[in-house]
């Protein structure tokens, strides 16, 4: 039985990764319909622990939206065009394990382009105007906030950010399992961002 989360991914028109393989990770962000400065979204991972085994699905509290500080101060993060907000979509093989800000291992945008909205009016509302979409390498990584964070604030300027470091560590361990299990094709990771249904 395919999990409901993956059915929704397919309904949005995106591919799911399976083939019966163990640790063929589906890394998925779910953006809540209500935006804000809290970790009210999810980052999820759907996978099998053994070949043709049952599905496992993990849900972790996260944000897929920039924090209020980032919205009001886009120049702090190197752009006057506006703060980046990742556009829902499937970004195939766009991510690799690397150092986030040179500090710790994370899923970093190293291998493919993504799309972002640019919100440049410096208020605390997430503006997702299709006319502002840019495509490229923006360093919108998948990383962690603090041990147990409640407010996004400076944590996300386009990045997808876990609220709890222990949850993030669980995802990174799964990424290593994918690489160990499938060394020929596994060093890259696809990230799929969908909206709450």
User: Is the full-model pTM beyond 0.85?
Assistant: yes
Is-contact 45 27, C-beta < 8 A? yes
Q: State the Cα torsion 135-141-142-145 to the nearest 10°.
A: -130
Is-contact 19 30, C-beta < 8 A? no
Which of 6, 93, 106 is CA-nearest to residue 48? 6
Segments making up each domain of the chain, as ranges: 4-195
Is-contact 159 86, C-beta < 8 A? no
Q: What is the pLDDT along the chain (197 residues), one digit of tens a residue?
A: 899 999 999 999 999 999 999 999 999 999 999 988 999 999 999 999 999 999 999 999 999 999 999 999 988 876 778 999 999 999 999 999 999 999 999 999 999 999 999 999 999 999 999 999 999 999 999 999 999 999 999 999 999 999 999 999 999 999 999 999 998 888 999 999 999 99
What values do phi and psi take at 37, rounded to 5?
A: -110, 20
Instruction: Give the chain's length.
Output: 197
Residue range 142-171, pLDDT digits in tens: 999 999 999 999 999 999 999 999 999 999
Predicted local distance difference test score (pLDDT) of residue 78: 65
């Amino acid at each position: 039985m395919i999990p409901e989360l993956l059915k929704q991914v397919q309904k949005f028109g995106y591919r799911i990764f399976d083939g019966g393989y163990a640790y063929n990770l589906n890394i998925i962000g779910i953006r809540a319909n209500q935006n804000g400065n809290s970790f009210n979204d999810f980052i999820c991972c759907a996978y099998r622990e053994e070949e043709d085994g049952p599905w496992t699905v993990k849900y972790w509290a996260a944000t897929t939206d920039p924090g209020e500080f980032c919205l009001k101060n886009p120049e702090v993060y190197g752009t006057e065009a506006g703060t980046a907000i990742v556009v829902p979509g499937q970004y195939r093989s766009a991510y690799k394990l690397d150092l986030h800000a040179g500090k710790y291992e994370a899923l970093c945008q190293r291998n493919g382009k993504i799309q972002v909205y640019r919100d440049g009016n410096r208020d605390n509302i997430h503006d997702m105007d299709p006319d502002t979409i840019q495509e490229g390498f923006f360093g919108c990584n998948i990383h962690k906030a603090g041990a147990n964070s409640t407010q996004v604030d400076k944590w996300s300027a386009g990045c997808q950010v876990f609220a709890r470091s222990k949850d993030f560590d669980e995802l990174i361990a799964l990424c290593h399992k994918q690489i160990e299990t499938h060394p020929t094709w596994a060093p890259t990771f696809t990230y799929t961002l969908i909206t709450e249904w």
